[in-house]
Amino acid sequence: MKIDDVYDVIVVGGGHAGCEAALASARMGASTLMLNLYLDNTAMMPCNPSIGGPAKGHLVREIDALGGEMALAADEAAQHLRWLNTSKGPAVRTLRAQCSPKAYGDHYRKALLTCERLQVHQSQVTDIIVKDGRAAGVKIKTGQVFYSKNVVLATGTYLASKIHIGLTCHKSGPLGMVAVTDLAGSLKRLGLKLGRLRTDTTPRLHSATVNWDILDKQQSLPNPESFSHFSEKRVHSEIVCAMTRTNRKTHEVIRKYFCESPLVQGTLETEGPRYCPSIDDKVIKFPEKDTHPIFLEPIDPNGMEVYMQNFSTSMCLEAQFEAVSTIRGCENAHILRPGYAIEYDFVPPTQLEPWLETKGIKNLFLAGQINGTSGYEEAGAQGLMAGINAALRSRGDEPLVLGRHQAYIGVLIDDLVTKGTKEPYRMLTSRCEYRLILRHDNADSRLSGIGYEIGLLTREKWEMVRARRSVMEKESARLANAKIHPTEEVNEVLARAGSSLITEGIPALDLLRRPEVTWGMFAPLVSSGIDEELGERISTEVKYEGYIDRQKRQVEKFRHMDRLKFPEGFDFNSVSGLSAEGRQKLSSLLPRTLGQASRISGVSPADVQLLWVSIENWRRTGMKDSDGTH
C-alpha cells in the first residue's frame, strides 16, 4: 500500500456493511482499500449474536445468492439453529442462527485478508475529499490522504456516538469503542443533512450464575441445515438457549427507578427502534401487561457470556442489577456488561439514489446504519449493493438496482431512499408485497444469475445453482406426467395425514396440492430421490401456484410504472393540479420513475395520475432530456 496510490474504491468501516462492500468490490475486480477503525472488531456483533429471523433471514440468503459472505460466516460461526415462522407458511419461513461472535468475526477477517485486490488498514477517517462534486478520497486522523475513484461510507453507529446508562452519558462507540467525531462534521460541510437515532442493547450475564435447570430449554434443530446455498449442512448443538419472563416485581423495580431513567427524564431525545423497544419502554407503553418474554442466549460456551434477548435497556446500574434478579432463573445472575443506549448521527437516506450513491456528491456511496437502519442483515445487504455499485461505477458500467419484485434487498433500499426513516429501520416480511415470490428457499433462482453476470458470484457456485435448477425442472416434468393409484400404502399415508382417501388413480401433482400432504410423505409415493430441500421447493410452487401466478401478474402491472422514467431535470412544480404535499415531497425527493413517486408518503393516487399524464405528454411531443436523448 502506498499513500499516493489511487484506488478504484475506498471502503470506510469494518462492520457488516463495510465487510460486504469491500469484499464485493474487490471480487468484482476493483482495487479496493478498506479503512477500519479497529481491526480486532471486524464484523463485530455489539448487539444480539444472531443472524437471520423473519425477513432478515431472507436478506442473508439473498446476500449469499449474489455472492456475498454473510451466510458463509453465519454457517461457520453457528452454534444453534432454528426454523422460525414454520406455522405461517413458506413465504415467511426462515432460519435464525445463534453465532459465536469471535468465530463470525474471524471468518470475515480471514476473507478480507486473503482477498485479492483488497488491502486493509486500521485508521480513523476524518474527512471525505471531494473534487468537482465527486468523492476523490479520504483523509485519516494522522493527516494522510488516500485517493480513490469511489468512496463507500459504512460507519455504523460510531458517528458522534454517545452511550447512556441511567442519567450518565459519555462519548463512546458500541461496547466501549472509540466514537468518531470529526467525520460527522465533514459530512455536514459537504452539504449532507444529518439526523440522530438511538438503539439499545441488553445486559450480558455470566452463564455460571444462571439457574438453567429450572428454565424451559430451546434446542437447536436436530437435522442438518445451513444458511448458505453453498455450505455443507450441519447439526449445531454447541449451546442451548432458554426462555423465561419478566413479572410484576420486575416491572415494579423498573418503575421505581424512573427517576433515574434517561427515557423518562428526557435525556434521550432520539427515536429508538419501534419493533425492538427496550424493557423500560415496554413497561411505559404497555402498563396493562404484567409479563414479557425473555430469551437467554449463550454467546459463546468458552466466554461464559449470556445475552438477554428482549431486555434491552438504558436504565441505571442499580435498576439493572435489581430488575434482573427478579427474573426466574436469574435470581443470582451476575451482570458482566451492563445494557446501554447509544445515540449516533445518521444520514437520512432520501438523500441517496436507488443504487446508494448520494445525490449531491457523485461517487460517494453510503451503506448500513449510517442510512438509518438497524440490524446486521440490513447493513450487510446495503454494504453488498454499495460495493457492487462502486465497482460497477469504477469500470464505467450502469448501476445495479434490484426491484421490489426481485428481492427483499430491493424492498429495503426502495423503502429507505423513497420513504426515508425517522427511527431505526428494520426489515419486516410485512413490508414486502410479493412475499410468495421472494421466499427464503428460492433466493438462488432469483439472484444468482445476476451475481454471476456482474462478476461477483463464482462460476463454480453458478454451476451449482444451474445444476439444482435442472434437477428441479426434470423432477417437476416427471411428476406432471405421473399418477398415483389407490394402493393400501397410499391410503394409509393419507389417513395418517387426515387427508381423504383415493378410490381411483389421480395425477401426482393433484395429491401434492393438498395442504396436509407434505413433501416428506409424498416423495416415497412417487419414488422421488431428489434432495429434500429441492422437493420442498417443488411442493411450495405446486401448492401455491395460483397465488404465485397472481403475484406475478401484479408485478407486471407495477413494473410498468417503474419503467416510466421522468426526464432529466423534470420540474414537478410545472405539473398543474398536484396536491401541495405531493408537490413538496416530489420536488424534495426527485424520484426517478413513476413507480418510485407512487411510493412516496404524501403523494396521492390523483397526483400519480397527473404525473402519468405529464410523462405521456412529454413522450408524445418528443421532448428531449438535457443530454439530447428521448
Per-residue model confidence as pLDDT tens digits over 316-331: 999 999 999 999 999 9
Residues 248-268: what's their mean pLDDT? 94
d(CA 213, CA 422): 43
Helix 248-256 with 317-324: angle, nearest 10 deg: 170
Percent of the chain with pLDDT over 90: 82
Residues 125-154: what's their mean pLDDT? 97
Distance of CA 591 to the CA centre of its chain: 23
350 vs 601, residue with greater confidence: 350
Residues 233-246: what's their mean pLDDT? 93
Residue 440 in grid coordinates: 427464503
Q: What is the pLDDT of residues 515-567, one digit of tens each?
A: 999 999 999 999 999 999 999 999 999 999 999 999 998 888 888 888 888 98
Residue 37: pLDDT above 50? yes
Residue 459: pLDDT above 70? yes
Residues 91-108: what's their mean pLDDT? 95
DSSP secondary structure string for all residues of 245-263 = E--HHHHHHHHHTGGG-HH
- Where do the DSSP E strands lie in 420-551? 483-484, 506-507
Residue 624: pLDDT above 70? no
Residue 528 in grid coordinates: 422421488
Neighbours of 630 (CB within 10 A): 9
Task: State in words which class domain 6-200+344-453 has.
Answer: alpha beta
Amino acid at 536: E
What residue spans define the domains of the chain? 6-200+344-453, 204-221+229-340, 482-547, 564-621
Q: What is the pLDDT of residues 168-224, one digit of tens each?
A: 999 998 988 889 989 999 999 999 999 999 999 999 999 999 999 999 999 999 999
What are residue 560's DSSP bridge partners?
none
Residue 47: pLDDT above 60? yes
Q: 388: Cβ–Cβ under 8 A, 6 or more apart, which residues?
A: 24, 25, 28, 66, 400, 454, 456
Residue 623: pLDDT above 60? no
Fold of 482-547: Arc Repressor Mutant, subunit A (1.10.10)
Amino acid at 273: P
SS (H, E, C) 461-497: HHHHHHHHHHHHHHHHHHHHCCEECCCHHHHHHHHHC
| Residue 629's pLDDT band (cuts 50, 70, 90) | very low
How much is the pLDDT for 283?
A: 94
Taking alpha carbons only, the member of 161, 154, 160, 155 closest to residue 340 is 161
d(CA 47, CA 197): 16
Q: What is the pLDDT of residues 363-372, one digit of tens each?
A: 999 999 999 9
Question: Are residues 381 and 62 in contact, defined by beta-carbon separation less than 8 angstroms?
Answer: yes
d(CA 160, CA 152): 19
Taking alpha carbons only, the member of 360, 365, 366, 310 closest to residue 339 is 310
Q: What is the pLDDT of residues 422-446, one digit of tens each?
A: 999 999 999 999 999 999 999 999 9
Taking alpha carbons only, the member of 198, 162, 159 closest to residue 182 is 159
435 by Cβ neighbours in 10 Å (0-12 / 13-18 / 19+) ranks as: buried
Which is it for strands 94-99 and 78-84: parallel, antiparallel or unpaired? antiparallel
Question: Are residues 575 and 614 in contact, defined by beta-carbon separation less than 8 angstroms?
Answer: yes
d(CA 70, CA 62): 10
How much is the pLDDT for 99?
A: 95
Which is it for strands 162-165 and 145-153: parallel, antiparallel or unpaired? unpaired
d(CA 194, CA 587): 19
Residue 628: pLDDT above 80? no
- Where do the DSSP E strands lie in 50-116? 50-52, 78-84, 94-99
Fold of 204-221+229-340: Elongation Factor Tu (Ef-tu); domain 3 (2.40.30)
Phi, psi torsion values for 331, nearest 5 degrees: -55, -35
Return the CATH number of 564-621, one of 1.10.10.10, 3.40.190.290, 3.40.50.1970, 1.10.150.570: 1.10.150.570
How much is the pLDDT for 196?
A: 95
d(CA 341, CA 256): 19
Amino acid at 491: N
d(CA 59, CA 55): 6
DSSP 530: S
Residue that has been written with the C-alpha cell 451482570 in this structure: 335
How much is the pLDDT for 403?
A: 94
Amino acid at 617: N
